[in-house]
Amino acid sequence: MKLHWWGTLLYVPVLYGLGWLASRPLALVFTGWRPDQVDLAGVAIALVLLLVSLPWRLHNAWDTATPWQTLGVACTPAAGLRAFVRGLLKAVLLLGGVCVVLLVGGQARWLGDLGGAQLLNALALVLGVGFAEELLFRGWLWGELDRLAGPQRAIGLQAAFFALVHPWYRLPGIEAIGLLIGLVLLGLALALQRRADGGVLWGAVGLHGGLVGGWFALQAGLLQISPGAPAWLIGPGSPNPNPIGGLLGLIGLGALLWVRRRWW
């Protein structure tokens, strides 16, 4: 099977559509579920379909006999753990920098109160969102774009696709632009993380999941951000701002890209 642009563009939307259709009967079985819970079940089904179909697609379209190694998922436990910890530490440093500036500037107050349920939710985000999105974007999509457009174009294209599919467009004006730029920078940083780890995906999982889960934990009880904190500094989307769209996040991601510039 030859790799085509139309196959790359339709592959995930078709899986998502199948997951959405398969989840509709669940609303009849579990009558107490909210619409968003049914939709989340559809996403989970689509993820299962992705995991099941990826080896077949890579074997036929990429001509590889070791799909999970090619995607950077299968590696030695030591290599995977080292990469994951390195990525996680970078996420801690980025979020720590945001916290320090906010605390010193009087834009936030440290509470240090995180319950068990919130901690488990944060850990689920680290592993769930981190793995699912990195497998999709820095694993499958980047690999397909590399074969279709070449390595130099592929790294920028995967970051652009990653940014565009997130709901940045729901924000007004300049806030939407700031978040879109932040998402592109994050997509580039995650790709360079994987390159720096020799193709292993788990460093990108640690970095991505650490940012998502870590920020959730901070907002869930560790840090109280002042309602008056400017969106241009902390990020758009108040009362739950996204820091990668604010000045602090953009500076942090820019610094990370500069450190990783040798892997471009």
Q: What would the 3-class secondary structure string for 51-93 be?
A: HHHHHHHHHHHCCCCCHHHHCCCCCCHHHHHHHHHHHHHHHHH
Residues 6+ apart with CB under 8 A from 242: 179, 182, 235, 236, 249
- Percentage of the chain lying above the pLDDT 70 cut: 100
User: What is the model's pLDDT at position 103?
Assistant: 95
What Å distances lie between residue 241 and 105, 128, 169, 199, CA to CA? Answer: 17, 21, 15, 32
Query: pLDDT per residue over 71-82, tens digit each?
Result: 999 999 999 999
Output the pTM of the full model: 0.94
- pLDDT of residue 1 exceeding 80, the answer is no
Q: What average pLDDT does the chain have?
A: 93
Q: What is the pLDDT of residues 33-91, one digit of tens each?
A: 888 888 889 999 999 999 999 999 999 999 999 999 999 999 999 999 999 999 999 99
Q: Would you state the structure tokens that stand for residue 20, as one six-digit string?
A: 């959405």
Q: What is the pLDDT of residue 3?
A: 86
Which residue shows structure tokens 């850990």?
123
pLDDT, tens digit, 9 for 90 and up, residues 166-212: 999 999 989 999 999 999 999 999 999 999 999 999 999 999 999 99
pLDDT tens for 118-150 read 999 999 999 999 999 999 999 999 999 999 999
